[in-house]
Structure 1
Amino acid sequence: MENLQQPADARGVGEGSLAARYQYSPLPSARHTRLVTLHPGDFSDSDIVVDLDPIPLTPGCQPPYEAVSYRWDQEQSPLTVHVGKDRLFTIPVTCNLAIALIHLRYPDRPRHLWVDGLCIDQSDDIDKGYQVAQMGIVYCLATRVIAWLGPEGDDSTRAMKRIAWMGRQVDVDHPIWKIRPSSDCTEPAFVDEDAVIPVSAQDTLAIYHLVCREWFGRLWIRQEILACEPRAVVQCGEYQISWPVFRRGLAVLYRRRRPRWEYEGRLYNRLLLLRGFISQPPTIGLGFIRAAFGQSACSDMRDRIYALLNFLTEAEREIIGMPDYGKDFDVLFREVLWRWIDRFKCCNLISQCEPGIDHPPYMPTWTPDWSKKETFYGRYFWRGLASSQIAAVCTLSPDHKVLSLLGIPVQRITHLEPVPDIMRASTVRGIADAHRQLAPEHILDWEYHPTGVSMLEAYARIFIANTVAENSEPWAGTDPSLAEAMEIVRKLYGTEEDLASESRTLGPGDGFFQISRAILGTRQIMGTSDGYRGVAPLLAREGDIICILFGCHTPMVLRQEGVDTFRIVGECYALGLSEGEALLGPLPEGIRRVYTKDPKWGVHSYFENVKTSDRSFLDPRLSPSLVLPDFLSQLQQDPNAKLQVPVETLQRHFSGVRKFDII
Structure 2
Amino acid sequence: MNYAPYQYAPLSAGHQAGEDDDFYSIRLLHLLPSPSPASPLQCLLIETRMNPDGDESLATKKPRQVEYHALSYTWGDPIFTETLPVIDHVACGPITAIHITQNLHAALLSLRKPDTTLVLWVDAVCINQADVLERNSQVSNMPTTYSRASSVIVWLGADSPHQDGRLCLEFFDRLARLITSSLSEPSASEKNSWRIRLKINRLVSTFLDSAPEALVSFLERPWFRRRWIIQEVVLAKDVVMHCGSSSIPWKIFELVMVELFSNDKGGFTSEHRTTMRTMARMRHDQEGARRQFPLETLVEFSSFLCADPRDRLYALYGVMQQWFPGSGGTNSTGTIDYAISVEETYTKFATLMLRSNCSGRAELKYSPLTHTLQLAASFRSTDALTQGMPSWVVDWMTSPGDRPRTSSSRGSRQEVDILSEKDGVRLLLVAGILDDVVTARIDLDISPFILGLIPGSKRELNDFLSRAIESMEEIDFPGIDRNDIYRTREHIVRAIVTTLVSNWEQVPANSYFAQTNEDFTDSLTELFLDQLHLSNYHLPESLHRWPAYVELIAITMRGRSLFLTDRGFMGIAPSDVRAGDVVCLLRDSNIPFILRPIGVDVQSKDGTFSIANTFPFHDATYVDNLLDLDGDPTAYTRFQLMGDAYVHGFGDGPWPSDSPWCEEEGQPPLLILPIA
Question: TM-score, structure 1 length as denominator?
Answer: 0.72
- Tell me the alpha carbon deviations over residues 281-340 of structure 1, each in whole angstroms, 9 at most, x when there is no partner: 545423224421211111222212211112222158314333111111211211222233
Aligned residues: 553
Identify the residue that residue 67 of structure 1 maps to in structure 2.
Answer: 70
- Cα distance change of structure 1 residues 99 and 550 upon mapping to structure 2, 3 Å threshold: same
State the alpha-carbon separation in 2 of the partners of residues 167 and 391 from structure 1. Answer: 52
- Tell me the alpha carbon deviations over residues 49-85 of structure 1, each in whole angstroms, 9 at most, x when there is no partner: 3433313143543322211100112332342211127
Identify the residue that residue 355 of structure 2 maps to in structure 1.
Answer: 342
Matched, 1:352 2:423: no
State the alpha-carbon separation in 1 of the partners of residues 542 and 336 from structure 2. Answer: 58
Shift in Å, 1:142: 1.6
- Cα distance change of structure 1 residues 391 and 238 upon mapping to structure 2, 3 Å threshold: same
Matched, 1:35 2:28: yes
Q: 1:81 aligns with which of 76, 84, 90?
A: 84
Q: 2:578 aligns with which of 504, 519, 541?
A: 541
Matched, 1:218 2:226: yes
Q: 1:463 aligns with which of 501, 518, 537?
A: 501
- Superposition RMSD in Å: 4.2
Structure 1 stretch 301-310 or stretch 447-456: which is displaced more?
447-456
- Cα distance change of structure 1 residues 67 and 395 upon mapping to structure 2, 3 Å threshold: closer
Identify the residue that residue 250 of structure 1 maps to in structure 2.
Answer: 257
Identify the residue that residue 389 of structure 2 maps to in structure 1.
Answer: 363
**8 Å Cα contact 2:443/2:464 also seen in 1:** no
Shift in Å, 1:18: 2.8
Identify the residue that residue 616 of structure 2 maps to in structure 1.
Answer: none
**8 Å Cα contact 2:432/2:670 also seen in 1:** yes
**8 Å Cα contact 2:432/2:587 also seen in 1:** yes
State the alpha-carbon separation in 2 of the partners of residues 495 and 361 from structure 1. Answer: 40
**8 Å Cα contact 1:68/1:113 also seen in 2:** yes
**8 Å Cα contact 2:354/2:416 also seen in 1:** no
**8 Å Cα contact 1:50/1:83 also seen in 2:** yes
- Cα distance change of structure 1 residues 459 and 334 upon mapping to structure 2, 3 Å threshold: same
Shift in Å, 1:432: 11
State the alpha-carbon separation in 2 of the partners of residues 335 and 495 from structure 1. Answer: 48
Matches within 5 A, 1:14-53: 16-28=1-13, 30=15, 31-41=24-34, 42-53=36-47
- Cα distance change of structure 1 residues 50 and 391 upon mapping to structure 2, 3 Å threshold: same
Q: 2:656 aligns with which of 570, 585, 604?
A: 585
Matched, 1:555 2:592: yes
Shift in Å, 1:44: 1.6
- Cα distance change of structure 1 residues 366 and 134 upon mapping to structure 2, 3 Å threshold: same
Matched, 1:156 2:165: yes
Matches within 5 A, 1:608-619: none
- Cα distance change of structure 1 residues 468 and 90 upon mapping to structure 2, 3 Å threshold: closer
Which residue identity lines up with residue 27 of structure 2 in the other structure? Answer: R
Shift in Å, 1:183: 11
- Cα distance change of structure 1 residues 371 and 498 upon mapping to structure 2, 3 Å threshold: closer
- Tell me the alpha carbon deviations over residues 437-464 of structure 1, each in whole angstroms, 9 at most, x when there is no partner: 44889899x9654333455476357515
Matched, 1:93 2:109: no
- Tell me the alpha carbon deviations over residues 503-522 of structure 1, each in whole angstroms, 9 at most, x when there is no partner: xxxxxxx8x88776553334
- Cα distance change of structure 1 residues 191 and 391 upon mapping to structure 2, 3 Å threshold: farther
Structure 1 stretch 451-460 or stretch 543-552: which is displaced more?
451-460
- Tell me the alpha carbon deviations over residues 213-253 of structure 1, each in whole angstroms, 9 at most, x when there is no partner: 1111111110001112x621221111212223323433443
Secondary structure in 2 aligned to 1:332?
helix
Secondary structure in 1 aligned to 2:505?
coil
State the alpha-carbon separation in 2 of the partners of residues 553 and 108 from structure 1. Answer: 65
Which residue identity lines up with residue 459 of structure 1 in the other structure? Answer: V
Identify the residue that residue 134 of structure 2 maps to in structure 1.
Answer: 127
Which residue identity lines up with residue 365 of structure 1 in the other structure? Answer: S
- Cα distance change of structure 1 residues 361 and 322 upon mapping to structure 2, 3 Å threshold: closer
Secondary structure in 2 aligned to 1:200?
helix
**8 Å Cα contact 1:395/1:403 also seen in 2:** yes
**8 Å Cα contact 2:334/2:352 also seen in 1:** no
Identify the residue that residue 55 of structure 1 maps to in structure 2.
Answer: 49
Identify the residue that residue 309 of structure 1 maps to in structure 2.
Answer: 317
- In structure 1, the gaps of 5 or more residues are 1-15, 172-179, 503-509, 587-618, 627-649
State the alpha-carbon separation in 2 of the partners of residues 122 and 206 from structure 1. Answer: 36
Identify the residue that residue 7 of structure 1 maps to in structure 2.
Answer: none
**8 Å Cα contact 2:334/2:349 also seen in 1:** no
- Tell me the alpha carbon deviations over residues 7-53 of structure 1, each in whole angstroms, 9 at most, x when there is no partner: xxxxxxxxx32334232331335323222211113322243434333
Q: 1:405 aligns with which of 430, 440, 445?
A: 430
Shift in Å, 1:278: 4.9
- Cα distance change of structure 1 residues 439 and 132 upon mapping to structure 2, 3 Å threshold: farther
Shift in Å, 1:168: 5.9
- Cα distance change of structure 1 residues 534 and 497 upon mapping to structure 2, 3 Å threshold: closer
Matches within 5 A, 1:394-473: 394-397=417-420, 399=422, 401-411=426-436, 412=438, 414-421=440-447, 429=452, 437-438=460-461, 448-453=485-490, 455-456=493-494, 459-460=497-498, 462-465=500-503, 467=505
Matches within 5 A, 1:170-185: none
Shift in Å, 1:256: 3.6
**8 Å Cα contact 2:462/2:540 also seen in 1:** no
Identify the residue that residue 614 of structure 2 maps to in structure 1.
Answer: none
Q: 1:485 aligns with which of 511, 525, 528?
A: 525
- Tell me the alpha carbon deviations over residues 369-391 of structure 1, each in whole angstroms, 9 at most, x when there is no partner: 1121x26675x312454x88665
Shift in Å, 1:186: 6.0
Identify the residue that residue 567 of structure 1 maps to in structure 2.
Answer: 640
Larger Rg: 2
Bigger RCO of structures 1 and 2 (CA < 8 A, at least 6 apart): 1
Which residue identity lines up with residue 347 of structure 1 in the other structure? Answer: L
Matches within 5 A, 1:195-210: 200-210=208-218
Q: 1:103 aligns with which of 107, 110, 114?
A: 110
- Cα distance change of structure 1 residues 654 and 80 upon mapping to structure 2, 3 Å threshold: farther
- Cα distance change of structure 1 residues 417 and 401 upon mapping to structure 2, 3 Å threshold: same
Q: Which structure is higher in helix share?
A: 2
**8 Å Cα contact 2:446/2:554 also seen in 1:** no
Identify the residue that residue 236 of structure 1 maps to in structure 2.
Answer: 243
Shift in Å, 1:366: 1.6
Shift in Å, 1:150: 0.4
Question: TM-score, structure 2 length as denominator?
Answer: 0.70
- Cα distance change of structure 1 residues 34 and 654 upon mapping to structure 2, 3 Å threshold: farther
Structure 1 stretch 51-60 or stretch 272-281: which is displaced more?
272-281
State the alpha-carbon separation in 2 of the partners of residues 489 and 439 from structure 1. Answer: 17
